[in-house]
Structure 1
């Protein structure tokens, strides 16, 4: 008879890596195979320290800007996308580059370009300073796009030609928050052009819906993800909004504050789109050392999305 307290772990499915993250990591791995180390990567390939450190150990060198990349070596652009000035600078230096931008982010870029070609001013719903937002705004000339971060922004933004307007969104936002901002924009600017298909990606959508399901049963939720991961932070917010107020973001098992789980008998676990499954397994193992654990998985949907590699790496 175990003297450990019982703990039921409720796993959200889908969780963890999405197709865009899988593709980005595979691009770095295959580039190392093809070219040998070092391969340079501009910015973190995805927002996860464990992933970045593993790739660094394999020979990837992560840099903040292109000018830190020496001549004659390949460079990879991160999954979040880059301003057009970055590949242009690489071409000027005759650097071979591989673009690991998630295809769903690229879709937002192309949508913004189409709206711009139609003469529309574009509102981008997103978070200032996030690499994806920097990359999206950098697809067009300065002044072509205005950032909307909050409902207040949506309510107060003044537009010179309100009848000549479109919006796009960052792919990793809160579905509920974004819906409210879109509602405000459509009320204020009835003729605003909308994306053909929602910009918030399938993985963000699925992970938020799945965490809502486990929030109904869990007394606390651990979200595996990095502090700078937009989609992971949104999962914490969604869980709290669904009533599971003891929801926290942790990078790894060693970061868990076990005092926060005192008295908890139902613990939800999910992971952001750039957090590998090995970190979820690590947390479950840490729980087993302290509790008598049983595991239940709640599945919203099974994902089977895949994206092609860049032609330089296609085998």
Structure 2
């Protein structure tokens, strides 16, 4: 699909987008728009340090591998709440996330972020699609990501593709940590993502959840912080599949293979409940 880009002068205003998201609750079609949004953003040191703190990331001259997602959040919100987008933002389920660090992300201050949606596919519970995020610096492509989201209730023709099996072995426990009840609110203040299912038990119950659940991108960032010494700084593709949500508060434990150009990891909870599985591989 050819993307028709709309270049914005400034990043979107989040409060207006939240108001727009709250008013759209129905599915209005089954075709993704071909429009993409782009904007230049400035990397500000203060929000970056706040992100490092909430995700327990060490100080580094390089941007954390998941940080461009925060810079892209406003554009993603505007794309997904546009009147031409067929699915309501509230209720979308984040199934997986893949990021590709093309070059070391150091010494960058100005970045061009581009977001678009593609790859609409049938799913046993509805339909999935990908939100694609591209980041360029003044030299060229720097970072890419693909987030796969599920919208329940969409009825597409044909058969749903079979998921690929992801079984890894040879992992040992690397570390464990405690996810406190307020981590969703703390992450929201840093990221701007105030999804009610992550904020409190009371707001999560509005969406039929017994308690708040940890934000998937916070789990990924916190996991990659623990894997920092295992991962290459660039020329790497990192993929995570979100399994069972982490109900807050909770203790989780991280299992990983040895450091190297390739590896696997898994985040478990009580009674070895699998919350997230992931892998890193060199870019081909």
Q: With structure 2 as the length reference, what TM-score do the two structures score?
A: 0.25
Which structure is higher in strand share? 2
Which structure is higher in helix share? 1
Q: Which has the higher contact order (CA 8 A, sep 6+)?
A: 1
Q: With structure 1 as the length reference, what TM-score do the two structures score?
A: 0.23
